[in-house]
């Protein structure tokens, strides 16, 4: 392992070497701190010794590998997060073994790319000139073929395109849901800030890197969102790669942090009453039914219907004297009484 003065991250090959050695130590039954101690004794490179010494000193205090790795500032975020999970679940040896294979593959991919000197330039040119515009053109063609008329497609950075679109279309452009599916590096902070400013009710975040996902979720959750649900999707069996889909929603305001002010307001009309619960006297109900249907109903029948609905009513309206039989409200009149209740917004 090597480290520059600028705290440069370890290479894929260096990470693979470290994880492989720790795997052998853990499989042999040694605690992680003893494993680091053995590596420290065997280290020949000065910078490697310095890194391992920082780790060993930290592990003497905490007994944990994750904070020791984090303190060196040279290990990738993905490795740190996986080690943390391994320690929390008691599967550190398996995690280190998986990380060994992961960084060996990453190193092979990196070497194959570097072998073609012009490959990076060609890929950048393709991304700018061919892939993205062509993808949008294909999306428009698919929408046309499938008769989808309520979708629009744009070429550009979301944090630049969407605010401009909102400025041109006003409140009609406000999103209720934003879905993001960034590359491994996650979302730019400018994009996260734009999403929070637009304040959709829900955000769906699809991630292929748990470390950058954790970083971006921390930002969103500190700017008004709650993590509602997480669903991992194992698309690449027998590898450490997992897609993760997260649903975030606007957090509920804590009433303790809300200040209320009393405002006297007198509406100019009775529009506000349309949503308010109404009331009516027995006389008003009987008169309305008589006027609308030319049918007479008694106070007793009205009281019986109120009793069915759990309304408060006057005592003895649905009771007879001792030995007297009280007639029940006929179904057709009960229907008219219910209609009157609805008219007066009582139900």
- Is 329 a catalytic site residue? no
Q: Which helix (H) or strand (E) holds 48?
A: helix 46-62
Q: Could you tell me the two tokens for 209?
A: 């890197």
Tracing tokens 């698919």 back to the chain, one arrives at 142
Q: Which helix (H) or strand (E) holds 110?
A: helix 92-114
CA distance 220 to 203: 9
Contacts for 70 with CB less than 8 Å, ≥ 6 apart: 80
Would you tell me how many other CB atoms lie within 10 Å of the CB of residue 342? 11
Q: Could you tell me the two tokens for 237?
A: 């069996």
Which one of 19, 208, 246, 329 is the catalytic residue?
A: 208
The dihedral of CA 339, 343, 346, 347: what is its sign? positive
User: What phi and psi, each to the nearest 5 degrees, are found at residue 202?
Assistant: -135, 150
Pick from 104, 36, 25, 42: nearest CA to 64: 36
Per the CB < 8 A criterion, the answer to whether 17 and 1 are in contact is yes
CA distance 188 to 213: 12
Q: List, by residue number, the catalytic residues.
A: 208
């Amino acid at each position: 392992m090597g480290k520059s003065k600028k705290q440069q991250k370890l290479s894929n090959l260096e990470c693979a070497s470290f994880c492989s050695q720790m795997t052998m130590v853990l499989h042999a039954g040694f605690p992680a701190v003893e494993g680091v101690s053995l590596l420290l004794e065997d280290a020949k490179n000065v910078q490697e010794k310095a890194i391992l010494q920082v780790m060993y000193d930290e592990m003497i205090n905490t007994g944990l590998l994750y904070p020791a790795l984090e303190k060196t500032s040279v290990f990738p975020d993905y490795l740190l997060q996986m080690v943390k999970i391994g320690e929390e679940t008691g599967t550190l040896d398996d995690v280190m073994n998986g990380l060994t294979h992961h960084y060996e593959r990453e190193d092979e991919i990196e070497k194959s790319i570097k072998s073609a000197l012009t490959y990076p330039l060609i890929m950048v040119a393709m991304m700018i000139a061919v892939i993205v515009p062509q993808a949008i053109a294909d999306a428009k063609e698919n929408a046309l073929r499938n008769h989808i008329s309520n979708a629009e497609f744009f070429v550009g950075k979301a944090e630049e395109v969407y605010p401009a679109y909102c400025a041109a279309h006003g409140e009609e452009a406000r999103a209720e849901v934003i879905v993001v599916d960034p590359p491994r590096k996650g979302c730019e902070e400018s994009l996260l800030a734009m999403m929070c400013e637009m304040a959709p009710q829900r955000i769906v975040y699809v991630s292929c890197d748990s470390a950058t996902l954790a970083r971006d979720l921390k930002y969103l959750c500190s700017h008004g969102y709650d993590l509602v649900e997480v669903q991992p999707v194992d698309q690449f069996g027998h590898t450490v790669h997992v897609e993760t889909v997260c649903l975030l929603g606007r957090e509920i305001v804590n009433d303790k942090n809300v200040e209320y002010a009393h405002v006297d307001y007198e509406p100019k009309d009775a529009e506000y009453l349309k949503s308010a619960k109404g009331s009516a006297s027995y006389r008003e109900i009987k008169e309305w039914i008589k006027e609308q249907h030319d049918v007479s109903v008694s106070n007793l029948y009205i009281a019986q219907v109120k009793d069915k609905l759990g309304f408060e009513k006057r005592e003895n309206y649905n009771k007879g004297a001792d030995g007297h039989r009280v007639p029940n409200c006929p179904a057709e009149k009960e229907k008219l009484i219910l209609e009157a209740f609805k008219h007066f917004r009582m139900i």
